Chain A
Amino acid sequence: MGTAIGGIISFLVSFAVMASIYAIFSMGLNVHWGHTGLLNFGVAAFFALGAYTSALVTSPMPTGVLANYVKQAFGLNAPFLVGVLAAAIVCGLIAVLMGLLTLRLSEGYLAISTLGIAESIRIFFNNERWLANGPQGLVGLPQPLHGLVPPAHYNYIYLLIVLAFMALIYLALERGIRSPWGRVLRAVREDEVMAGADGKSVFLFKLQSLALGAMIMGIGGALYAHFSAAIQPSVFEPLFGTFIIWAMLTLGGTGNNKGAILGAFIVWALWSWSTFLILKIVPPAFATRAPFIRYVFIGLLLVIILIKRPRGIIGEERQVSKF
């Protein structure tokens, strides 16, 4: 009995870590789509860049026999926080480059362009083995504060780290969107022409929003890399890298950071728990196909929510500036 409860708790902790990481992506996407109206379908690009940057910055260069099997462009062996910071900076810079190329496109075209860029980046990591070991990816990534507790209990420590990042990002964003800067972003979202007529550089504000959201996503990517301790390009395919995050934000409530977090927890709970429940119900002969019921389940849920509650579970609040 005791081990059963222990198993449930450790499952809950690793669930909470992943859901919080997804909540960070969801808040990053909320900066783009919720607050500025940018259709970024390339979340996976920043997910991958953040994860790979932090992995390369924090891991040592492989030596000896290992060097024959693991190729990577560099390995700086730097501390965890340096990796996270580097991930944010790289994602911010790449976002500025992407923005200069694509932000003048109208919304639908922007969506598909960012999707295309994200896929191209994933394919690049997959093909260029010298960069980050190609399809096999990087394994055994360092984990912060690892020596502190026995490995079996490490996830508790990591949950605290992830929750701290989530809280900091939430508080910073809440301040940001209530500031005059946040008001300009919403003005751009509601009516670009009017915002431009008021003397605001629409392009510059969009670029700032793209970079800020991308930096948050980069942090999310870095946190993911050090949690799973192994990354490979297949993690960053559009379904799990981008679309599930859109489902989270839309479900929770676009434009509301609490909604972004709530949506991440709900969708991830449905996704990771439904397998368990389904496997308990269906006959063993059907076990290999049963997990796919969750595709049907989440797909239908998304459709129903969009029809019944188009603004999500908790929609956008009225933003009133605090003086």
Chain B
Amino acid sequence: MPELIVYGIVLGSIIALGSVGLTLIWGITDLFNCAHGDQITVGAYIALLFASLFSRIGFLQAKVGPFSFHWGVLLAFIPAILISIGLAILIDRWVYKALRRAGAHFITGFIASIGVAWALRGLIYIIWGADFHFYTTGLRPMLFLPLGIKLRVDEIFIVIVAWAAVAAVYIFMLKTKMGKALRALADNPSLARVSGINTERMLMWAWGIAGVLIAIAGVLYGIETQLRPEMGWIFLLPLFAAVIMGGKGSITGALAGGLVLGIAQQVSTEWLMPTYKPAVAFIIMILVLIFRPKGIFGRRKV
């Protein structure tokens, strides 16, 4: 049981990281982005591309400390993040901006994002094929903790990076001027506009921040499991559940939702078949919604 809780925290940290980006975009742009998962896949594959390029350089072939991956993978975070930011902003420019201008219903944006998701996944299949890919091959070092808990050393890295990224975004949104402007935009777009906030520039920032979180989530998810074209799409469903449980635009809500779902999914394997994990996430989400229709941390609109 303690082992399952620890695994749940690892899983929950990755879900939380993925859902913070999703809830930010939902809160600020009113778009429920179905392409979020496939953008995560793109981030993971871009990192794969650069990791293999970097691994041609001799000193980058060394493993990072006790972890299973090379310095090349660590360095590949940078181009993955940059390209992910660019992609997020470009998609917004080309697709969602036109829909915003036309004053489209939010469901139109939702369906357009499904189209974006398909297009991205198709590109990944075409470029990299349907096979599994790994950042590194060979042994994955294990850690033996008290209470019989076996943990991969990589998972400690994953949890630390995930929480550092989420904390950075949280502080950014809370403390900086830009963060405050973004929150103002989420609260009341028309009031933000008349107060002199350049909304289109703000939205670029929002997508940029989402892009950073997306790329980090992609690489961490790739380190934890393996890379395949469907990885982000399958990952999206628990993200939806976490975001919905947390309430629209709530970072702390998405965090709590992610952790609750991660732990619940892993602990449920004590009694249920592991294949029931996604269903456990959904049933918890639906129960939460029935009792708290605006999410755990959701604010009621006045």
A243 to B112, CA, bound (A): 11
A108 to B241, CA, bound (A): 12
Q: Are B275 and A127 in contact (CB under 8 A)?
A: yes
Per the 8 Å Cβ criterion, residues 99-125 of B in contact with A are 99, 102, 104, 106-108, 110-112, 114-123, 125
Closest to B275 in A: A127
Query: Which residues does chain A contribute within 8 Å of B45, judged by CB atoms?
Result: none
Contact check, A303 vs B116: say whether CB atoms are below 8 A apart. yes
Taken together as a complex, chains A and B put the C-alpha atoms of A302 and B282 apart, in Å, by 28
Say whether B278 faces chain A, with CB atoms less than 8 Å apart.
yes
Give Cα A298 to B289, complex, Å.
33
Q: Which of A104, A115, A124, A295 touches B279 (beta carbons < 8 Å)?
A: A124
On chain A, the residues within 8 Å of B122 by CB distance are: 292-297, 299
Please count how many residues in chain B sit with their CB below 8 Å of the partner chain's CB atoms.
45
Nearest Cβ in chain B — how far from A69, in angstroms?
Answer: 20
A310 at the interface (CB under 8 A from B): yes
Closest residue to B103 on the A side, CB-wise? A310
Given contacts A105-B293, A289-B125, contact A296 B118 (CB under 8 A): yes
- Given known pairs A247-B115, A303-B119, A307-B98, the reply for A39 and B282 (CB within 8 Å) is no
Please indicate the chain A residues that have their CB under 8 angstroms from the CB of B116 in the complex.
Answer: 299, 303
B285 in contact (CB, < 8 A): yes
User: Which chain B residues numbered 205 to 262 have a C-beta less than 8 Å away from chain A?
Assistant: 233, 237, 240-241, 244, 248
State A215–B111 Cα separation when bound (angstroms): 24
* Distance, CA A243 to CA B106, complexed state (A): 16
Which of A117, A239, A297 touches B286 (beta carbons < 8 Å)? Answer: A117
**Known contacts A247-B111, A302-B114, A306-B115: A112-B241 contact under CB 8 Å:** yes
Question: Is A246 in contact with B111, judged by CB distance below 8 angstroms?
Answer: yes
Contact indicator A307/B119 (Cβ below 8 Å): no
Contact with A along B77-107 (1 / 0, CB 8 A): 0000000000000000001001100101011
| A303/B240 in contact, CB under 8 A | no
Residues of B contacting A292 in the complex (Cβ-Cβ under 8 angstroms)? 121-122, 125-126
Residue of B nearest to A246 (CB): B111
Residue of B nearest to A135 (CB): B275
B302 in the interface (beta carbon within 8 A):
no
Set A104, A116, A299, A307: member contacting B285, Cβ < 8 A = A116
Are A120 and B285 CB-contacts (below 8 A) given A106-B293, A295-B121, A298-B118? no
**In contact, A127 and B114 (Cβ under 8 angstroms):** no
B273 on the A face (CB < 8 A): yes
**In the complex, what distance in Å separates the CA atom of A113 from the CA atom of B284?**
10
A123 in contact (CB, < 8 A): yes
Q: Is B134 close to A, CB under 8 A?
A: no
- Which of A104, A288, A289, A293 has the most B CB atoms < 10 Å from its CB? A289
Size of interface on A: residues with Cβ below 8 Å to B: 46
- Taking CB atoms, residues of chain B closer than 8 Å to A120 are 278-279, 282-283
* Interface status of A126 (Cβ within 8 A of chain B): yes
Inter-chain contact A306/B104, CB cutoff 8 Å: yes
Residue from the set A105, A120, A306 with the largest chain B CB neighbour count within 10 Å:
A306
Cβ–Cβ < 8 Å partners of B120 in chain A: 299
State whether the Cβ of A136 lies closer than 8 Å to any Cβ in chain B: no
B129 interface residue per 8 A CB criterion: yes
Binary contact readout A5-44 vs B (1 if CB under 8 angstroms, 0 otherwise)? 0000000000000000000000000000100000100000
Within 8 A of B (CB), among A80-112: 101-102, 104-109, 111-112
Contact of A123 among B104, B118, B276 (CB under 8 A): B276
Q: Say yes or no: is A316 at the interface (Cβ < 8 Å to chain B).
A: no
Q: Output the nearest chain B residue to A124 by Cβ-Cβ distance.
A: B279
Quick check: B111 and A123 within 8 Å, CB to CB?
no
User: Residue-by-residue, is B260-288 near A (CB-CB < 8 Å gives 1, otherwise 0)?
Assistant: 00000000000001011011011101100
The answer on a CB contact under 8 Å between A123 and B119 is: no
Name the residue on B nearest A301 (C-beta): B115
Whose C-beta in chain A lies nearest to the C-beta of B243? A112
In the complex, chain B residues whose CB is within 8 Å of the CB of A161: none
Interface mask (B176-187 → A, CB under 8 Å = 1, otherwise 0): 000000000000
In the assembled complex, which residues on chain A have CB atoms less than 8 Å from the CB atom of B248? 108
18 other A-B residue contacts (CB within 8 Å) besides A289-B126, A306-B112: A33-B107, A104-B293, A107-B107, A113-B289, A116-B241, A123-B278, A127-B273, A246-B111, A247-B115, A288-B130, A289-B130, A292-B121, A294-B122, A295-B121, A296-B122, A298-B115, A302-B115, A310-B99
Residues of B within 8 A of A (CB): 32, 95, 98-99, 102, 104, 106-108, 110-112, 114-123, 125-126, 129-130, 233, 237, 240-241, 244, 248, 273, 275-276, 278-279, 281-283, 285-286, 289-290, 293
The 9 closest A-B pairs by CB, nearest first: A295-B122, A116-B282, A299-B118, A299-B119, A302-B115, A292-B125, A296-B122, A120-B279, A303-B115
30 A–B pairs (Cβ distance < 8 Å), ordered by A = A39-B107, A101-B290, A102-B286, A102-B290, A107-B107, A108-B248, A112-B244, A113-B285, A113-B289, A116-B282, A116-B283, A119-B279, A119-B282, A120-B278, A120-B279, A124-B279, A126-B275, A127-B275, A127-B276, A246-B111, A292-B121, A292-B122, A294-B122, A295-B121, A296-B118, A298-B118, A299-B117, A303-B95, A303-B112, A307-B102
